[in-house]
Copies of this chain bind each other. A is one copy, B any other.
């Protein structure tokens, strides 16, 4: 089934204890698309300025990423982010943030995208997520990401969004904040009452937790990656593989969701092994399958 992602495209400069990657390609829709493309076609919606030094057609060559929804906006500039990760890479500081084109109107959704069945709304203002979603005719399964500043400052819009999506993918601090509940399982239950039928909570190095309104709970540790060079894009790679796997078969039952989370976990573990997209472009679908079996072995008793 068709899969659409709406999100950022950025020029990142990332510093980690393992080095610096200057002016590399980043952004949520980029990581998502690369990860999802291992499983099937992806439709990308995003906007850049003429200053963007990357040819996305080349970046995604041979990967079934539809770039019809890529707008190169004249007289604007590409989003830029510069960040530094702390020693354990569980925390980062933003050194520079230039929203540029992201502060302007969003790109128009091409007509050929409007029949998308699976949709991922990467993190941005909930109002914009709602506006983008309203242009999709009859999506079957919409997942969204959000962050603390929208929970604090745009809760009305976020509440409306939660009523219109099937799946919320957030990190543990955000889940606790949104639910006003420190216990994660209880927090997930409260988020489910807000609208979505599935909530997936990302816990970084500690893995992920899924709760759905069939009462299913699923816990999966992160793959114990011995090499972590750059955590940027881990969450969007996770979401990309997850949604890519679900969209391929079009099934979103608990069993499919669990396996999708396992694929998300594995693909994220490859993404963080190197800077920018290098961790993902270095692997094949076979590598993903092998690591999935290793993850199964690592977690079975």
Could you tell me which A residues sit within 8 Å of B by CB distance? 87-88, 182-186, 203, 205-207, 209, 217-221, 224-226, 228, 258-259, 261-262, 296, 298-301
Contact = CB atoms under 8 A, between A and B. Distances in A.
A87 B182 contact: yes
B209 A207 contact: no
Contacts of A301: 218, 220, 258-259, 261-262, 296
Given A186-B226, A206-B221, 20 more contacts: A183-B226, A185-B225, A185-B226, A205-B206, A206-B207, A207-B207, A207-B219, A207-B221, A209-B224, A218-B301, A219-B224, A219-B298, A220-B221, A220-B301, A221-B221, A261-B301, A262-B301, A296-B301, A299-B299, A300-B300
Contacts of A186: 226
Nearest to A86: B182
A6 to B, nearest CB: 28
A184 B222 CA distance: 12
19 contacts: A88-B182, A183-B228, A206-B206, A206-B207, A206-B221, A207-B219, A209-B221, A209-B224, A218-B298, A219-B221, A219-B224, A219-B298, A220-B221, A220-B299, A220-B301, A259-B301, A261-B301, A296-B301, A300-B300
A84 to B, nearest CB: 16
Nearest to A207: B221
Contacts of A261: 301
A77 to B, nearest CB: 37
Nearest to A222: B219
A225 B182 CA distance: 12
Which of A186, A262, A299 has the largest number of chain B CB atoms within 10 A? A299
Nearest to A262: B301
B184 A224 contact: yes
Nearest to A17: B182
B228 A299 contact: no
* A-B pairs with lowest CB-CB distance, top 8: A206-B206, A219-B221, A258-B301, A185-B224, A262-B301, A88-B182, A259-B301, A219-B298
A148 B206 CA distance: 22
A182 to B, nearest CB: 5
A123 to B, nearest CB: 24
Contacts of A217: 224, 298
Nearest to A88: B182
Nearest to A87: B182
